[in-house]
Amino acid sequence: MSVSKKIQNNINAINEALETSYVARLVQVPYEPEYLQFFNKTKDKTFSFGKFVLFNHCTYVHKAGKRKIYGITWSKFYIGIRCGLKWHHIRFPKFHKVRCSKTRYEIKGMNAYNLTAKEARNFLSEYMSKNGVISPNKIIAECFEKM
C-alpha cells in the first residue's frame, strides 16, 4: 500500500515551502459498524492461541439508551449480540483480515490521524491555504491552461 500521489505531492510541497519533515502513511484501522458510534466501549479483549488471534470481543453500552433490546446481527466478519443495554461485538480477524480493517491516513507531525483519503486531501488543502503554500497540482493545471 502506498500513499496517493496527490497527498504525497501536497506533503512534499508543504515540506519544501515550510522546511518541515511531515510524513503521510497508510495504517490499518479495525472495522467497526457505523451504529457503534451510539455506544461507549467498556471492554476490549483479544482471545488468542499462541500467536494466532482467534477473535476479538468488545462490550459496548448504549450512550442514552433506556429501552432494553435483545437481538443478533451478523455478517461475514463479525457477530453482534444485543442484550438489554449492552452490545457484544465479536470480530474474526484471521478469517477475514481485509474486511475486518479499513485503510486510513496518518500524517505525522500534523496530529492528523484516522483520516479517509478525502478527509486527508481536504485537511492538507486547508493547511496549505492557511500557510500560503501553492499546491503542485494547481501549478501543473495552470501550465496546461497556458498551452
- Tell me the per-residue pLDDT of 61-104, one tens digit each, with 9 for 90 and over: 888 877 788 888 887 777 888 888 888 888 776 555 555 677 88
Specify the pLDDT at position 63: 84
Provide the 8-state DSSP code for 5.
H
Q: Which among 81, 75, 71, 72 is positioned nearest to 95, based on CA atoms?
A: 75
Stated pTM of the model: 0.60
- The β-bridge partners of 100 are none
The Cα–Cα gap between 44 and 17 comes to: 43
